[in-house]
Amino acid sequence: MTEPGGRTRRPDSPPPGLVVAVGVLLALPVLALIWVSSYNRPEPKLGGVPFFYWYQFLWVFIAAACTTVAYRLVVGYERRRRALRGNGSATGREDRGVRR
């Protein structure tokens, strides 16, 4: 399959929009935390804890949420792709030839 720009894309590769969305979700926490000058200050305090510390701690939960959403996007795409191709079940588990 040829895309605009003359590049070829494998038929089973994920759509570019999905790749971009997952990349942004995974890069967001990294970029937010390496830009130290944006949060290198003591105010505002939260329960006596300086902003510098509670901001970073907040990103632990935000990063977990971003990673979860990215994972669910990829898994959802894989399930839809397998269901359309007819390979394996919708849960992603394939029968390995085990007789029941």
Amino acid letter for position 38: S
The whole-number pLDDT of residue 98 equals 55
**pTM to 2 decimal places:** 0.72
Which pLDDT does position 70 carry in this prediction?
97
Task: Show pLDDT as tens, one digit a residue, over the chain (100 residues).
Answer: 566 666 666 667 889 999 999 999 999 999 999 999 999 999 999 999 999 999 999 999 999 999 999 999 999 999 988 888 886 555 555 555 555 4
